[in-house]
Amino acid sequence: MGLRERKKAETRAALSWAAIRLVVERGFDNVKVEDIAAAAGVSPRTFNNYFAGKGDAIVSRHLDRLRRAADDLRARPAGEPLWTAITAVALAQLEPGPELAAHPVADQEAWAAGVRTMIAEPALQGDLLRAGALAEAEVAAAVAGRTGTDLSKDMYPHLVASVVMAANNVAQAHSLRAGPHVSMPELLTEALARIAAGLPPP
Amino acid sequence: MGLRERKKAETRAALSWAAIRLVVERGFDNVKVEDIAAAAGVSPRTFNNYFAGKGDAIVSRHLDRLRRAADDLRARPAGEPLWTAITAVALAQLEPGPELAAHPVADQEAWAAGVRTMIAEPALQGDLLRAGALAEAEVAAAVAGRTGTDLSKDMYPHLVASVVMAANNVAQAHSLRAGPHVSMPELLTEALARIAAGLPPP
DNA sequence: CCAAAAACTTGCGTGCCCCGCATCTTTGCG
DNA sequence: CGCAAAGATGCGGGGCACGCAAGTTTTTGG
């Protein structure tokens, strides 16, 4: 990888991280694009060369994570049953990545609260959902490759991808509602199991 | 219903309809909020008393439709099996509402093309997905009422609602991909059936 | 090793958008 | 009828996204 690409990746990461940190700390409307650019050490104009808006910058890490999960699904052993592979990848994706170690958080509690109010921001939910839709397309491709179905002719891979993202979102939302008493891995496993069972009424 | 509320509803409908029509005809960025307000016979400032932005105005009809579907689900006979009720409502919601008769379209072909490019607009997809999420909450409430589950404690109603919306979206997207050769009702029925069967690999 | 080319950053200017506030008009009600 | 509540409108401010035209840095090819 050349110097050029490396610097681009660094700038992009710096901008995204700065956006997240500032918004979590101060709230969405109390952060101007100008602030984010300054925190990342670039001009305000440059921010828009990397992201179309505040929302995109914030969501980009999330999107990367989901994309990586789609890749992981491709990388699972070919013989493995589909739902086994999906569950494994979904659970693996919950583990905090190495980028968390690079940006330690002082007050864990305040950070979590900030994140909650951040994702509650209406302006961001659109961007979050769009990121989900983007990732969904890649998951669908992975599922198609795995099951030998045709992306453009069969609904099946899209259906699976969409439903898996739904399970993810629902488990996440439920975890926020219920507090940290129940563990995400359990919720996600339950959600996926229920879906694979056809969602019979309880 | 008093005069006051009736006029509000009319203005709201006029704004939403004008927004859709203009954007379908001219494209998203070639329509200014000012144009929409003018077409609805109202001041530009008033537009923002009804909608937070162009996207919201365009999406509001879609959202109303989904909301009505959630109500329909509540209205189904109580003894009916859940998935039967859901499928019925999902199919009923495909029928064009009475508002279509009030706004006949001259060139059916051009209109459909315009709608396709409209919903392809990135700026709108966020709003569309947000509307879906809003409706999802109401569907979840309806499912909870039907199955005697607790919205805040059980994941089940959210899971069902989310997955049903997913089926809807996937069927819609597939219909756009495949062209009008295959009928939406068939696609939706297939999607829901597959989900109720636990999405076994084909 | 060096110059031309390609890629990236930056400043500036433009058009649009969302919203708070004050004011004026309309509606609902006793 | 007359007053209180609700809505419409005009004005102005704070921002944001992006096109364009330099300036600067990396890459490339001889």
- The average pLDDT across A129-146 equals 98
- Residue A88 scores a pLDDT above 80: yes
B161-200: per-residue pLDDT in tens?
999 999 999 999 999 999 889 999 999 999 999 999 999 9
pLDDT value at position B101?
A: 81
Token pair listed for A46: 């440059």
pLDDT value at position B2?
A: 79
pLDDT value at position B81?
A: 97
pLDDT value at position B104?
A: 87
Question: How confident is residue A98, by pLDDT bands cut at 50, 70 and 90?
Answer: confident
pLDDT value at position A100?
A: 81
pLDDT value at position B77?
A: 96
Q: What angle do CA B111, B182, A70 make, to 5 degrees?
A: 95
Question: How confident is residue B157, by pLDDT bands cut at 50, 70 and 90?
Answer: very high
Phi, psi of B171 (to 5 degrees): -60, -45
Q: Measured between alpha carbons, how far is A185 from A171 in angstroms, rounded to an integer? A: 9
How far B130 CA lies from chain A's nearest CA (Å)?
A: 6
Tell me what the pLDDT averaged over chain A comes to: 96
Proportion of chain B above pLDDT 90, given as a percent = 91
Strand nucleotide closest to residue B31 (CA to C1'):
C16
- Residue B60 scores a pLDDT above 90: yes
Q: Measured between alpha carbons, how far is B87 from A44 in angstroms, rounded to an integer? A: 50
Of A2-11, A43-52, B26-35, minimum mean pLDDT range: A2-11
B179 touches chain A (CB under 8 A): no
Report CA-CA distances (Å) from B116 to A173, B13, B36, B62: 31, 22, 20, 15
Q: Measured between alpha carbons, how far is B149 from B157 in angstroms, rounded to an integer? A: 7
Q: What angle do CA B18, B23, B24 make, to 5 degrees?
A: 100
Q: Measured between alpha carbons, how far is B24 from B16 in angstroms, rounded to an integer? A: 12
A14-29: per-residue pLDDT in tens?
999 999 999 999 999 9
Which chain B residues have a beta carbon less than 8 Å from that of A190?
Answer: 155
Q: Measured between alpha carbons, how far is B166 from B173 in angstroms, rounded to an integer? A: 10
Total Cβ atoms within 10 A of residue A105: 14
B27-40: per-residue pLDDT in tens?
999 999 999 999 99
Give the closest residue to A167 by CA, choosing from A140, A142, A149, A192: A192
A179-193: per-residue pLDDT in tens?
889 999 999 999 999
Q: Measured between alpha carbons, how far is A16 from A11 in angstroms, rounded to an integer? A: 9
pLDDT value at position B102?
A: 83
Strand residues in B4-128 grouped as ranges (E):
none
State which nucleotides on strand D lie below 7 Å from a protein beta carbon. 6-12, 15-20, 26-28
- Residue B3 scores a pLDDT above 80: no
Report CA-CA distances (Å) from A193 to A78, A86, B199: 21, 11, 11
Look up residue B143 and give its amino acid.
V
User: Tokens 């400032």 identify what position?
Assistant: B45
**Which has more pLDDT, B99 or A199?**
A199
Q: Measured between alpha carbons, how far is A64 from A17 in angstroms, rounded to an integer? A: 13
Q: Which residue of B has its CA nearest to A122?
A: B130
Q: Is B179 helix (H, G, I), strand (E, B) or coil?
A: coil
Contact map slice: B 87-126 vs A, CB within 8 A: 122, 125-126
Of A153-162, B44-53, B174-183, minimum mean pLDDT range: B174-183
pLDDT value at position B17?
A: 97
Proportion of chain A above pLDDT 90, given as a percent = 92
Proportion of chain B above pLDDT 70, given as a percent = 100
Asked if A176 and A184 count as a contact pair (C-beta separation under 8 A), the reply is no
pLDDT value at position A89?
A: 98
Asked if A167 and B159 come within 8 Å (Cβ–Cβ), the reply is: yes
Q: Which residue of A has its CA nearest to B127?
A: A126
B178 touches chain A (CB under 8 A): yes
Give the closest residue to B146 by CA, choosing from A134, A101, A201: A201
Question: How confident is residue B97, by pLDDT bands cut at 50, 70 and 90?
Answer: confident
Asked if A170 and B159 come within 8 Å (Cβ–Cβ), the reply is: yes
Give the 3-state secondary structure of chain A: CCHHHHHHHHHHHHHHHHHHHHHHHHCHHHCCHHHHHHHHCCCHHHHHHHCCCHHHHHHHHHHHHHHHHHHHHHHCCCCCCHHHHHHHHHHHCCCCCCHHHHCCCCCHHHHHHHHHHHHHCHHHHHHHHHHHHHHHHHHHHHHHHHHCCCCCCCCHHHHHHHHHHHHHHHHHHHHHHHCCCCCHHHHHHHHHHHHHCCCCCC
- Residue A167 scores a pLDDT above 80: yes
Question: How confident is residue B159, by pLDDT bands cut at 50, 70 and 90?
Answer: very high
- Residue A3 scores a pLDDT above 80: no
Q: Which residue of A has its CA nearest to B81?
A: A201
Burial label for B15, CB within 10 Å (0-12, 13-18, 19+), is buried
Which chain A residues have a beta carbon less than 8 Å from that of B122?
Answer: 130
A142 touches chain B (CB under 8 A): no
A159 touches chain B (CB under 8 A): yes
- The average pLDDT across A19-42 equals 98
Determine the residue among A146, A162, A184, A190 to mutate to test chain B binding: the one whose Cβ has the most chain B Cβ atoms within 10 Å.
A162
